[in-house]
Amino acid sequence: MSTTNTPTKEASIEQLQYARILEKGMYSGLLLMVITFALYVFGVVKPLIPLQDISTLWATKSGVYLTTVENKYIPEGHSLKAKVHAQQDAAAPQAQGHEAKAGAHHSQQHVLSGWAWATLLSYSDFLNFLPVAILAGITILCYGTIIPGLFARGDKAMGIMAIVEIAILVLAASGILKVGGH
């Protein structure tokens, strides 16, 4: 009988490796979060949305928030602004056809969704998203580093589960895998 899968009170090499990477990633992400927040609050880096407008926008529904940001704050010449204009141009003929339908539900896709924030990292309010994304991605890195050790010690089931976990996290982060109505 193999002892590789025998329960023990001591942490395995993979568990310790996972924990070390997670700890370093967590502290690095937390430090970066403090730095980016300071850049934002103290005005070192200009935000896309002025601080005095934030509380008003936060009080709105998400669709109103996104529409306002897309139309009012994204500067002309930015790649997202070109997408906003293209979307508005495409929606104009459809809107004219629906004028007679009172109360018709219109579902708008916003250009400022998914990973679009990454194109706005030059603004401090969007730079704050970077450490959050790093913290969320640390788990993928942790799993990726322990997979070779799992297979090397013959723990194929855990190795396969780690691969599946990485695939699920990557698909979810990419927007390909969606659950719910969002």
At residue 161, does pLDDT exceed 80?
yes
* Cβ atoms 36, 128 nearer than 8 A: yes
Euclidean distance between CA atoms 127 and 117, whole angstroms: 9
If DSSP codes are grouped into helix, strand and coil, which group holds residue 88? helix
Q: What is the pLDDT of residue 174?
A: 84
- Closest of 38, 47, 41, 71 to residue 126, by C-alpha: 47
pLDDT tens string 72-106: 999 998 888 888 888 877 776 665 655 544 444 44
Q: Greater confidence, 38 or 104?
A: 38
**For 120-152, how does the pLDDT look when each residue is reduced to its tens digit (9 = 90+)?**
999 999 999 999 999 999 999 999 999 999 999
Provide φ and ψ at 27, rounded to 5°. -65, -40
Q: How far apart are CA 39 and CA 34, in angstroms?
A: 9
Q: Do 50 and 138 meet the contact criterion of CB atoms below 8 Å apart?
A: no
